[in-house]
């Protein structure tokens, strides 16, 4: 097992063909690129965003109320 690994690590590494970069560039130019559509939020995304913000605001108010009560108890 160790001999196989040593032979693999000391062997010749794989290399790209000589015209690889030119072929890849030509292929990239020939391939049609899709147009990026502006992303708009869907209504359910706005609802979930609002619900998350409302829950966060509720937790913040709860924290402030508990801190106020704890400070007033002293």
Residue spans per domain, the chain: 45-74
Decide which of 67 and 34 is more confident. 67
Q: d(Cα 58, Cα 65) in Å, to the nearest integer?
A: 10
Mean of all residue pLDDT scores within the chain? 87
Residue 8 has pLDDT above 80, yes or no: no
Give the pLDDT of residue 47.
94
Closest-CA residue to 27 (of 19, 15, 18, 39): 19
Among 18-22, 37-41, 47-51, 62-66, the range scoring the smallest mean pLDDT is 37-41
Q: What is the DSSP letter of 33?
A: P
Residue count (the chain): 74
């Amino acid at each position: 097992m160790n001999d196989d690994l040593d032979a693999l690590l000391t062997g010749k590494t794989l290399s790209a063909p000589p015209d690889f970069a030119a072929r890849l560039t030509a292929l990239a130019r020939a391939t049609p690129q899709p147009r990026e559509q502006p992303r708009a939020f869907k209504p359910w995304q706005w609802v979930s965003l609002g619900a998350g913000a409302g829950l966060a605001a509720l937790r913040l108010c709860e924290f402030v109320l508990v801190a106020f009560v704890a400070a007033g108890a002293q």
